[in-house]
Amino acid sequence: MTTKGFRLDLSSAQWFKSSWSGPNCDNCVEVAFVDDAIAVRDSKNPTGPALIFTAAEWDAFVGGAKDGEFDL
């Protein structure tokens, strides 16, 4: 996977899904922490594309989620 000018190898990434997802989650994402990056993918399409974030970008996203910035 290429992002921001460097190559990130996700072949040995350990992917995690939230325990809140349950066994039959239809709309889940998985997260992997690889080197200094965070990868996010659709759990239904594990060979598909992944979004890649820096640690600062991930921290901003998680902080926003905790603060309710994405609540509908």
Domain that holds residue 55: 2-66
Does the residue 22 lie in any domain? yes
Q: State the pLDDT at residue 2.
A: 44
Residue 1 reports pLDDT greater than 70:
no
Q: State the pLDDT at residue 39.
A: 94
Does the residue 50 lie in any domain? yes
Does the residue 62 lie in any domain? yes
Does the residue 48 lie in any domain? yes
As for how many domains the chain has, the answer is 1
pLDDT digits (tens, 9 = 90+) for 19-63: 777 677 777 889 999 988 999 998 888 888 999 999 999 999 999
Are 39 and 8 in contact, with CB atoms under 8 Å apart?
yes
Q: State the pLDDT at residue 5.
A: 57
pLDDT top residue among 24 and 66: 66
Does the residue 11 lie in any domain? yes
